[in-house]
Amino acid sequence: MKNTLVITAALLLFLFQHSRAQTPKLSNKAQISVLTCGAGNVLYTAFGHTAFRVQDATKGIDVVYNYGTFDFNRPNFFLNFAKGKLVYSLSRRRFDTFLFEYENEKRWVREQLLALNTEEVNTLFQFLENNYQPENRDYLYDPLFNNCSTISGDILKNTFGERLVFENGHIDKPLSFRSLVHQHINTNSWGAFGIDIAFGGVTDRSATTEERMFLPYKAMKQLEHTSKDGKPIVERERVILNYPDPTDRSTFITSPLFWFILLLLFVVIVTYLDFTHSGRHHWLDFGLFLVSGITGLVILLLWVATDHIVTHQNFNFLWLLPTNLIISFYMLSKKQLPKWLYNYLAIALGLLTAILIIWLLKIQIVSWVCIPLLLALGIRYLFLLHHLKPIIGTTNA
């Protein structure tokens, strides 16, 4: 009896694995299309979305393969995100279920039907089905170089090789990754400010024709200018859901620039009072040095201690000095500041100038939203140098 159960279980396991490995062959009426979805109202949906749709009315198949699936409940999600090891997955859903989400969010959906013969449709379908297997569906996400949109171009290129040509006649001028991102998000917004602080100089080089496809809107436009065997790969296009792109409802009062200008004015007023009364507001210095130091440390760690590509060559740490974190606690002291701090502040002021040179040389673009912060730090550095000068002069004498 025991042997019979073992044999039966082994047979069922074999049949299960065999059936799993058998991907149905699509009929000659099957179609594959690329879906592009409009932007949403939150930051991670601000750039839209790209997915593949497979239809075969003969076999009752209408599914969407979505490379933009992630799970907040995955173990160590936020830690992996910080380390550049964020795992995204390929999911497969019925088209009507997929569409319901975008209908709910009032986001447009457009479809580009690919000009493929039956053999090519089945080749691409087999690839997607194989990629959907549990052992294949996960991948390491990168916002610019490996996302749902770049993957769509990669899949087509890997499937058709040199037969597929991404033409660039529609591109007016080369743009950097950072500039392309700013086309979809207001520069004077908290989201854009965070991106500009975190993204390094690697994002300030011009994106190639294929690399521009990291944005779903650009990928959709690029497919209109892509050929296979000398003919357009897009057979026809249609609008499935027609909603306008979301409008920016933010106000200047809620923008980072407004609050940074207020901070700058506060620093100017307090520094003027300190200068005229020969005093020093310890808590202001502590706050400026503490926040700039913590931010600079995060920037440096994102460059050297994570797998993120977009955070490489980030020279923002030159003005948001990580060492300011340590100096901030010296600033709390109401006693005389140490003499060596004079040299530190002179170097900090020099590095503040260096980041401006890096900006002018376009090695890395610094957001103009940061100008009030640069000025606030510069003004305070100059004041502290002036504050320490009598002490240095007395020592030299």
The predicted-structure confidence for 334-365, as pLDDT tens digits, reads as follows 778 899 999 999 999 999 999 999 999 999 99
- With a cut of 90, say whether residue 257 has pLDDT above it: yes
How many of the other CB atoms lie within 10 Å of CB of 294? Answer: 15
pLDDT of the residue at 334: 76
Task: Tell whether the model's pLDDT for residue 310 goes beyond 70.
Answer: yes
Residue 77 confidence (pLDDT): 64
pLDDT > 90: percent of the chain = 80
pLDDT at 5: 40
Residue 376 vs residue 306, higher pLDDT: 376
**Direct distance between the N- and C-terminal alpha carbons of the chain, in angstroms, rounded to an integer:** 102
What is the model's pLDDT at position 222?
97
Give residue limits of the domains in the chain: 27-171+209-241, 252-396
Average pLDDT score over the chain: 90
Question: Is 306 buried (19+), middle (13-18) or exposed (0-12) by CB count in 10 A?
Answer: middle
Of 71-85, 101-115, 210-224, 360-374, minimum mean pLDDT range = 71-85
Question: Residue 10 above 50 pLDDT?
Answer: no
Rg of the chain taking only CA atoms, in angstroms: 28
Span 27-171+209-241 CATH architecture = Alpha-Beta Complex (3.90)
The 10 Å CB-count burial string (b at 16+, else e) for 153-163 is bebbbeebeee
pLDDT at 60 over 50: yes
Percentage of the chain lying above the pLDDT 70 cut: 90
pLDDT at residue 1 in the model: 44
